[in-house]
């Protein structure tokens, strides 16, 4: 069933369509028909590129996790510049203002998707696990630079930052918290570990 729409990067077009649906209507609205309609292509296009819909969703999640890996590199490279709290505030805002919160909801919503992701990802909640690793690696560099106390438990600090950050952004229906609120949470969590 041709639609007259040229599909250059089919995977990315389908992923972007799924993101838009997730952000607009949540995981309940995410079906293969909704994705292909949103992408402007025939339903068969999705099934030509993915074994089934849960396979498509697993690839979507893994692709978006790859974006967190890229963000982690940029965050580590910012070590030693600005303030630690500002860098972490920026990272949290970038992470959770994206589709990450919606992806977490999707993972929670779909049992088969969680099962597939468990086969290829480390234990924990995908996206949140990678986000915690991103913050841990950044705080480790800052500790090595002396901007975080030498005895700071960066793993625990990262979990606290990600957990409270997720709670701050979740369930807001498209209205993110003010930057000042994010900064307050980050500063409160990190304050005891910051070198003076």
What is the CATH code of the structural domain delimited by 67-193?
Answer: 1.10.357
Query: Could you write out the three-class secondary structure of the chain?
Result: CCCCCCCCCHHHHHHHHHHHHHHHHCHHHCCHHHHHHHHCCCHHHHHHHCCCHHHHHHHHHHHHHHHHHHHHHHHHHCCCCCCHHHHHHHHHHHHHHCCHHHHHHHHHHCHHHHHHHHHHCCCCCCCHHHHHHHHHHHHHHHHHCCCECCCCCHHHHHHHHHHHHHHHHCCCCCCCCCHHHHHHHHHHHHHHHECC
Question: What tokens were used for 93?
Answer: 């805002």
Same CATH fold, 67-193 and 1-49?
A: no
- Per-residue model confidence as pLDDT tens for the chain (196 residues): 444 445 468 999 999 999 999 988 888 999 999 999 999 998 889 989 999 999 999 999 999 888 898 899 999 999 999 999 999 999 999 998 878 888 988 998 898 998 899 888 878 888 899 999 999 999 999 999 999 999 999 999 999 999 999 999 887 666 889 999 999 999 999 999 986 6
CB atoms within 10 A of CB 119: 7
Superfamily assignment of 1-49 in CATH? Homeodomain-like (1.10.10.60)
**Any idea where the domains of the chain sit in the sequence?**
1-49, 67-193
């Amino acid at each position: 069933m041709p639609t007259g729409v040229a599909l250059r990067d089919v995977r990315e077009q389908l992923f972007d369509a799924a993101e838009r649906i997730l952000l607009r209507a949540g995981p309940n609205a995410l079906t293969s028909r909704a994705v292909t309609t949103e992408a402007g292509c025939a339903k068969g296009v999705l099934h030509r590129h993915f074994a089934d819909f849960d396979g498509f969703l697993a690839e979507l999640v893994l692709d978006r996790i790859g974006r967190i890996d890229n963000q982690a590199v940029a965050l580590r490279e910012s070590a030693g510049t600005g303030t630690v709290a500002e860098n972490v505030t920026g990272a949290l805002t970038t992470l959770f203002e994206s589709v990450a919160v919606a992806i977490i909801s999707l993972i929670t919503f779909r049992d088969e998707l969680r099962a597939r992701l468990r086969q290829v990802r480390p234990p924990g909640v995908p996206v949140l696990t990678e986000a915690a690793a991103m913050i841990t690696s950044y705080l480790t560099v800052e500790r090595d630079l002396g901007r975080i106390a030498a005895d700071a438990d960066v793993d625990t600090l990262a979990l606290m930052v990600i957990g409270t950050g997720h709670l701050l952004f979740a369930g807001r229906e498209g209205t993110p918290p003010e930057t000042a609120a994010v900064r307050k949470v980050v500063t409160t969590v990190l304050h005891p570990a910051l070198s003076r």
